[in-house]
Structure 1
């Protein structure tokens, strides 16, 4: 493929507004691109306007290498703060601008280019490369969860998630557990608070207990300490009334040694304790749950990816971990176990930013890295 064709694919993909919940036009566009190069793909609907895409090249017999990415982006925020139209896909010097250029239409387009180049070369000779393009990664991971439920990773032998990693190979990332705690009290006039039950005051008690709820959790050798924060606190509607309802929201960055199930059980135990000790009632609600992912850094696939990158880029690819969750959190829910790593073009710190931009050189090199990984994985010339 000519570089101009590769760049045009990314530009057109950026020009499609795929803010979370509106991913289908991008899936349909990529299906047409793949079809134009003789590659069939399936659109797997999740809901109205939301469609995953799955495509394969290669033979039915042999190992399966998965290239995974997502179609959705975060919102642009205040578009007046952007110097460049968020959906322009404009190239200026060595950068292509637009929402999703880094997170992660650059990585996804590079994977599409890789599939096309493999098809043109008649590769792989023994095995398959499967592209998984999902909806809803930025919020709930429902797209990758649906593909997992449908068994589309059950035969996978290794996976690359194409998130931007600032030229590092991420072999592990923290999980993410979002929760809400609701506090129910009894309404009363503030002139006689003894007649009521103050839901805000009770919730403040939970806040204090939560600060030390995970003090005994030991750090993970790969991901470090479990990180927990209460980020939203809301209660009361009127200055002269004892509030009968309040809630808070929190986030826990989980580790394999103390995962989302363990965190939920710990928080539920705290809620049960307060319900037994205090007037009023507490209720725990799980808002979202992404499991931590960790591949052994000594795994053969990790070394293979590093060597493939060295072959293409002429430099080493250091190992790293991340505290952000990805679709890998959903794919590891399958009972079948396989190594997963994350590598893609772009600097992580550009994700979700105003005037998000990606180096054109990095983008054009990315599919060559993916292509080399596939060749090395299958042992093809």
Structure 2
């Protein structure tokens, strides 16, 4: 399907300079999570949407934090959902950054700054696309809903609030603007996050034989998890997601060298690939732990803290076909597909019955790290893809 004259005019309305200016302002507004708030970013997003002629709703999520919701109405109730998050991870050691993390420096066609790739560039590109659609003068049969949400980096509170309050009613399909390098993200790992505890008996180190060292016990359990992790490497070899893993992220115990520790705790996760089930992966961890305890005589208190479902979407789904068709006509080539090696709210949307994809500028390779950046040409390309796909959905051309 070639571009129509109306579609060409729509795409001509997307401006790279304005997009870059918006992205700069979003990056300059600190929205670290959990140490800060998204409020400054949310106010910029709301003002941009209002200036484009949209009615904006500020949905309270918790104190000083709110989602931004806006849309373009069609004559029918069906809607396409564009979703992006406004928070970032903490900047970490500022000494590792070449520029201030909030300077939004531009060099060599790239914009540097905390959250530039994950995912303020995607949010800015969606807003620029919506602006072009709003000012196009077109009549729409179906609608578009845009949600900029809080707390994606920690607990998904923003998108959970959208679902709990019925804000996503009539959304037939969705796109989350995660940094996929302009590939269509069609699969995602799940995760099971556990804590484990061993207990012992405290004693002075001078009479350590009178104590029971909880850290030694945990060390044996750690070795069990390491062997399990090695075995998981044989399970699969997805080109992007590779294989399931167990990662021990934190170990704590004891109070000092002069005391035998009576407690040791660790936190670990089990990454679950599409094709595995969350239930089977959890059962493996529990059975491994029970078998270890029986064999070694070590009680391990195991708690599942939280879980994120794995996810995939078939190429035959309308949401994939719609985005793929827009990309094909924009670039004259078949789109690329990718597994996404991070958490994303797409699995919440899918669980709510909304078929979804991931698509956005930038990559995870630079996100969550010093000197994060996004290529500005990718942000512009994403804005055009969002606009064309949405236009075709809204005019019922797809």
Please say which of residues 363-372 and 104-113 is displaced more in the overlay.
363-372
Deviation at 1:122, TM superposition (A): 4.2
| Alpha-carbon distance in 1 for matches of 2:180, 2:80 | 20
* SS at 2:151 equivalent: coil
Q: Quote the residue 1:356 is aligned against.
A: 372
Q: Tell me the TM-score normalized by structure 2.
A: 0.86
Number of paired residues?
379
Q: Quote the residue 2:156 is aligned against.
A: 141
| Alpha-carbon distance in 2 for matches of 1:112, 1:271 | 48
Q: Quote the residue 2:42 is aligned against.
A: 27
Q: Quote the residue 2:7 is aligned against.
A: none
> Which of 331, 342, 346 in structure 1 is aligned with 2:358?
342
| Alpha-carbon distance in 2 for matches of 1:209, 1:254 | 18
* Cα distance change of structure 1 residues 357 and 186 upon mapping to structure 2, 3 Å threshold: same
Q: Quote the residue 1:328 is aligned against.
A: 346
| Alpha-carbon distance in 2 for matches of 1:28, 1:205 | 51
Q: Quote the residue 2:10 is aligned against.
A: none
* Cα distance change of structure 1 residues 332 and 194 upon mapping to structure 2, 3 Å threshold: farther
Deviation at 1:87, TM superposition (A): 1.4
* Cα distance change of structure 1 residues 123 and 225 upon mapping to structure 2, 3 Å threshold: farther
2:311 equivalent to 1:311: no
Q: CA contact under 8 A between 2:133 and 2:391: conserved in structure 1?
A: no
> Which of 39, 45, 55 in structure 1 is aligned with 2:70?
55
Q: CA contact under 8 A between 1:220 and 1:255: conserved in structure 2?
A: no
Q: CA contact under 8 A between 2:235 and 2:243: conserved in structure 1?
A: yes
Pairs within 5 Å for 1:65-144: 65-123=80-138, 125-144=140-159
Q: CA deviation digits over 1:311-351, x for unaligned, max 9?
A: 223333211112211111332332x2x32111111233121
Pairs within 5 Å for 1:1-381: 1=13, 2-20=15-33, 21-59=36-74, 61-123=76-138, 125-213=140-228, 215=231, 218-219=235-236, 225-273=243-291, 281-334=299-352, 336=353, 338-379=354-395
* Cα distance change of structure 1 residues 219 and 152 upon mapping to structure 2, 3 Å threshold: farther
| Alpha-carbon distance in 2 for matches of 1:365, 1:124 | 24
| Alpha-carbon distance in 1 for matches of 2:210, 2:247 | 33
Please say which of residues 184-193 and 40-49 is displaced more in the overlay.
184-193
Q: CA deviation digits over 1:15-69, x for unaligned, max 9?
A: 1101114112211221111111210122122222322112111226242211111
Q: Tell me the TM-score normalized by structure 1.
A: 0.89
| Alpha-carbon distance in 2 for matches of 1:221, 1:98 | 31
Q: CA contact under 8 A between 2:198 and 2:217: conserved in structure 1?
A: yes
Q: Which runs of 5+ in 2 are unaligned?
A: 1-12
RMSD (CA atoms):
2.6
* Cα distance change of structure 1 residues 92 and 157 upon mapping to structure 2, 3 Å threshold: same
Deviation at 1:124, TM superposition (A): 6.1
Deviation at 1:276, TM superposition (A): 5.7
| Alpha-carbon distance in 1 for matches of 2:139, 2:102 | 35
* Cα distance change of structure 1 residues 121 and 380 upon mapping to structure 2, 3 Å threshold: farther
* Cα distance change of structure 1 residues 199 and 124 upon mapping to structure 2, 3 Å threshold: farther
* SS at 1:76 equivalent: coil
| Alpha-carbon distance in 1 for matches of 2:189, 2:326 | 26
Q: CA contact under 8 A between 2:88 and 2:114: conserved in structure 1?
A: yes
Q: CA contact under 8 A between 1:213 and 1:266: conserved in structure 2?
A: no
* SS at 1:249 equivalent: strand
* Cα distance change of structure 1 residues 208 and 375 upon mapping to structure 2, 3 Å threshold: same
Q: CA contact under 8 A between 1:124 and 1:375: conserved in structure 2?
A: no
| Alpha-carbon distance in 2 for matches of 1:259, 1:154 | 28
Please say which of residues 21-30 and 223-232 is displaced more in the overlay.
223-232
Q: CA contact under 8 A between 1:181 and 1:283: conserved in structure 2?
A: yes
Q: Which runs of 5+ in 1 are unaligned?
A: none
Please say which of residues 320-329 and 217-226 is displaced more in the overlay.
217-226
Please say which of residues 248-257 and 105-114 is displaced more in the overlay.
248-257
